[in-house]
Amino acid sequence: MGYRGKLSEQEAARSLRAQSWTLTDIAEKLGVSKSSVSLWVRDVAFQPNPRRTARRRGPNVLQRRKADEIEQLRQEGVLRLGELNEQAFLAAGAALYAGEGAKRDGAVVFANTDFRLVQFFCSWLRAFFQIDETRLRARVYLHQGLDLGAAEQYWSEVTEIPPSQFSKPYRAVPNSGYRQTKHEHGCVYVRYCSSDTHRAIIGLIDALLSSQVGPG
């Protein structure tokens, strides 16, 4: 279905997760895979059911207040933005690529650790350009010691690119002097070799940055 086709299921999954539903229960309720649910609710604050964790100390007042405020603002954002029409979706994708995509001519390259941005970009690319699916490539950048097979399967589901079209991964050597926090699934690079497509995207970006912005 792509990014927009599953929007209702994603919102329902996020709402249930916020109510302390488990991934398995959400998947059964919505009739979707557990892996999809895991992707959709990854950033939702989860509080286990108190009956199952009676001995655990729950969040304090400030933590609950912060979580409530975040959820309220998220819902306000959804209402304020609404469902993107075609022109808004086109502009949003161009803006996303302007910030995160490769600018060198010859290939469309987008990299990120946030599955939502990667999922949005892939849906946008397929929606507005004639894409030969067999030429799409993905490459995972992952720290050594983390599960490469799980990471590639994860990103394959996000991008809808078959694992057979993944290039040789890059395994980063841990550096204790650089950073301690590591993304479990690493970073994915989505690549589509097409000068025409890349130039069309750069044209959209130029048009976007040249447009008049303001009340009217």
In one letter, which amino acid is 86? Answer: E
pLDDT (average), residues 143-168? 93
pLDDT band at 155 (very low <50, low <70, confident <90, very high): very high
State the Cα–Cα distance between residues 157 and 134, nearest whole angstrom.
16
CA-nearest of 125, 133, 197 to 162 is: 133
Domains located in the chain, CATH noted = 2-81 (no CATH), 86-210 (3.30.1330)
pLDDT at residue 118 in the model: 96
State the Cα–Cα distance between residues 23 and 17, nearest whole angstrom.
8
Instruction: Supply the DSSP string of 143-200, one letter for each residue.
Output: ETTS-HHHHHHHHHHHHT--GGGBPPPEEEPP-TTT-S---TT-EEEEEE--HHHHHH
**Helix residue ranges per DSSP H, 31-60:** 34-40
pLDDT band at 52 (very low <50, low <70, confident <90, very high): very low
**At residue 142, what are phi and psi to the nearest 5 degrees?**
-140, 140
Residue 139 tokens, joined:
């490459």
In one letter, which amino acid is 172? Answer: A
State the Cα–Cα distance between residues 93 and 84, nearest whole angstrom.
11
